[in-house]
Structure 1
Amino acid sequence: MKIGIVTQVRVTSSRLPAKVLLTAAGRTFLEHHLERLRATGLPVVVATTTNFNDDVVLAVAKEADVPVFRGSEDDVLSRFAGAAREHALDAVVRVTSDCPLIDPAVVAAGVDRWRAEADPDLYLSNCLERSYPRGMDYEIFSAARLYDAEAKATLQADREHVTPYLHQNRSGEMRLLNLAWSGGGAQYRLTLDTPDDWKLLDALIEEHGGSDLNCAQLVQLLDAHPELAALNAHIEQKKLGE
């Protein structure tokens, strides 16, 4: 069974345009992100848009030796399905490119559990209920279920956000499993969505070697340095559909 990671990337984000191309320690956040994903040992595919603004994504991905699939800017569900088809994936790990410090071991453990369950109707994630810091999120599901969602999902939010049709079980046929974590840190933001998120991630990478730290170590660092966590503690996560 071929399981691959598909990460969605576009530079026309509203809160912090071209955020993945911002740099820390001389590398773009997208490069940091792709390096962490490649450390899982799984195939990685960048799913970006056909918008000419995203041409630059190809150059970054090529340098990282990661293939790119280009599809609809707004219908991200069809973009993911296209990436899965082009790379003959049997199952998909969905992540987003605004997670430059995502822990490869956390993702790999989720994949191991999904394989062990041996259930093509299983949707497995670590963020159905928040126990990890934001920025460690992944979702895993079979390509067959992704294609079913692509064919049947009609709500705009389902098309834009890829997985609501699955994790809200609109088909009535999915089994949902959340892998929780007891290490704490659910209140922290290690995601890149606003200028204040950028300040924190830049400080973690530039001043504390964050690109070499795993999830537990990052949580311990933020616990020990509340002044760092305070940099983006006030940010409210955008709601589905915003």
Structure 2
Amino acid sequence: MKIAATVQARLGSSRLPGKVLKPILGQPMLALQIERIRQSRLIDQIIIATSTEPQDDALATLAQQLGVACFRGSEQDVLGRVVGALQAFQVDVHVELLGDSPLPDPLLVDAMIGYYLKQADCYDYVTNGLKTTYPPGAEVAVYPTAVLVAAEQQATDAALREHVGIHIHQHPDHFRLCNLEAPPWYHYPDLYLEVDTAEDFEVITAIYEHFYPQNPGFSLAQVIDFMIAHPKLVSRNQQVVRRWKVFRQE
């Protein structure tokens, strides 16, 4: 059984173009994210799923430099792109991650994978992102490739195909969903650890600058403690409009 993580990434972001390659401590943000994913003990392969647009050639080059796989598909049909990546690399179990979430916690990722593997007979889709209880940016979804292939075949709304798991979320009658809510020590839904805007990037940069030089394997729990101790940093991106909220059970 092959477990692979995809990272959806492109350079054509409308609010912060080129964000995944913006440098933090001299490295592209995406490279730091890949480094953290590599700390997972259960992921067999990492795939950067990007577009065929010429501007995303830089992401294919970065994948080669980092020694990770790359798949290129439609810029707008992200669902089709990720399905293509999973099929091309013969993935059995998919760990879905986003290029605008540069602080994945490998312990949380492995816990989510482990839970899915133990409960595979009960659930088609395990995530912590149906309802916001973890800090946004800490989302993980784990499910068989076959589930996403089925969703891709059913999804006809072009707007929804710009996202990967939304069709699954909206059809609990077709898919057995499991949302794992955050325990108290992770329950900080108003700490935004994702990058949509320049304000978000400033927050993520401050976190990496604080931890990475001495402790590159810093945890989500440590990030939360740091943010709580720096309320001005927390407030820096509190007013950013989060487009994904229309899809969440808030």
- TM-score calculated relative to the size of structure 1: 0.94
Corresponding residue for residue 218 of structure 1? 223
Contiguous gaps of at least 5 residues in structure 1: none
Corresponding residue for residue 179 of structure 2? 178
Q: CA offset at residue 121 of structure 1?
A: 5.2
1:89 partnered with 2:91? yes
Secondary structure at 1:212 match in 2? coil
State the Cα deviation string for residues 37-83 of structure 1 (Å, max 9, x = none): 11113111110000000000012111211110000111111111110
Contiguous gaps of at least 5 residues in structure 2: none
Contact 2:123 2:178 in 1 (8 A): no
State the Cα deviation string for residues 107-141 of structure 1 (Å, max 9, x = none): 11100000001238511101111111111111112
1:11 partnered with 2:11? yes
CA RMSD of aligned residues (A): 1.6
Contact 2:122 2:176 in 1 (8 A): no
Secondary structure at 2:101 match in 1? coil
1:112 partnered with 2:119? no
Secondary structure at 1:219 match in 2? helix
Mean CA deviation greater in 215-224 or 179-188: 179-188
Corresponding residue for residue 163 of structure 1? 165
1:21 partnered with 2:26? no
Mean CA deviation greater in 107-116 or 157-166: 157-166
State the Cα deviation string for residues 145-201 of structure 1 (Å, max 9, x = none): 11111212101233111112111116x221111111122321111111100001111
Alpha-carbon separation, structure 1, partners of 2:109 and 2:28: 21
- TM-score calculated relative to the size of structure 2: 0.91
Alpha-carbon separation, structure 2, partners of 1:226 and 1:83: 40
Q: Counterpart amino acid of 1:214?
A: S
Corresponding residue for residue 80 of structure 1? 82
- Count of equivalent residues: 240
Alpha-carbon separation, structure 2, partners of 1:53 and 1:133: 31
Corresponding residue for residue 240 of structure 2? 235
Corresponding residue for residue 70 of structure 1? 72
Q: Counterpart amino acid of 1:190?
A: L
Find 1:54's aligned residue among 56, 62, 69. Answer: 56
Identity over aligned pairs, percent = 35
Corresponding residue for residue 198 of structure 1? 201
